[in-house]
Every structure is written in C-alpha cells, then in structure tokens.
Amino acid sequence: MAREAGLVRDEVLPAGSKASSTAVRAVMTANRGRDTKPERLLRSALYRQGLRYRVNARPLPDLRRTADIVFPKARVAVFVDGCYWHGCPDHYRPATKRSAFWQEKIQGNQIRDADTDARLRERGWKVVRVWEHEATEAAVAKVIAALVSSQV
C-alpha cells in the first residue's frame, strides 16, 4: 500500500556503483571520512587543554594526504584511525562478503599509512596514530607528549 501511495519507491543503483544493493550503498555513503565522533572528542579535549590546531589539513603541501589534526609549528600530525578501515589488531574482523576486495582495501590503507608516516618523519614531523577505540584521555596524553618532545 505504501508503494502504491508513492511513499516508497524502488531505488536503482547509479551507473558505475560498486555496491551490491541500494541498502549497501546507503550504509557505505553514510560512513564519514572526517569529523567522526572519535575525532570530535579528541579535538574537543585538546581544545579544552588550550591547544590550537588545524583540522583535516595536509601536513606537507606536496603530499596528497590529510591528517585529522595538524599542529604546523610543532610539526605534529595526528591521525585517528578507524578500527575496520585501518585493520586494528584488536577489533578488525574480516568481511564475509567480497572478502578479497575488502582485504586488499584494508591492506592498501595500511601500506598508505606506513608510507605517510615515513614521508612525514623524513621531513621532521612527529606522527601520532590513535585508534578510534582508545580512551580520549590516553589519546590526549599521546598528542601532548609528541608536542612536548617536538619542542626539545
């Protein structure tokens, strides 16, 4: 009845979509690439400590990768990594559907993360990686330790 009344309509996947269904597409498009809850909590806690930073910025202009939080003068880049997307050793569970695709995707993310860390360190940056499941207080302590050690 709802369909007949025009309240529900069948959605068609856009051309070129890799999603297996409209429901899968809806879930995947809802995944945020920035301003996630763990990022916002960390930023809020750092701000309360009196720290000021840039959000979702490129630490190096010629590097096409952005850090979640950047302290340009101290040369500290902070990344808040999602457990699924970056393959957390504690919480990552392999996908059951299209597992080869997702395994390759996660491994690619890990390789890119390691490359980003190496490039930033080569140029004198300190890199802080925080898992989304880490306590905010522990993440703040990591960031402050990196900021203090960069001033020495």
Close Cβ partners of 129 (under 8 Å, ≥ 6 residues apart): 78, 79, 81, 113, 117
Write down the pLDDT at residue 77: 98
What does the alpha-carbon distance between residue 89 and residue 117 come to, in Å, rounded to a whole number? 18
Q: Quick one: pLDDT at residue 45?
A: 98
Q: What is the pLDDT along the chain (152 residues), one digit of tens a residue?
A: 766 777 666 677 888 887 778 777 777 777 777 889 999 999 999 999 999 999 999 999 999 999 999 999 999 999 999 999 999 999 988 888 889 999 999 999 999 999 999 999 999 999 999 999 999 999 999 999 999 998 86
pLDDT at 10: 67
pLDDT score for 134: 97
Give pLDDT, residue 3: 67
Long-range contacts, 24-30 (Cβ 8 Å, 24+): none
Q: Which pLDDT score, from 0 to 100, does residue 30 have?
A: 75
* CATH class, range 33-150: alpha beta
Alpha helices in the chain, H assignment, sequence order: 22-30, 37-48, 99-122, 136-150
> Could you tell me where in the chain the CATH 3.40.960.10 domains are found?
33-150
- Identity (one letter) of the amino acid at 10? D
- CA end-to-end span of the chain, whole Å? 70
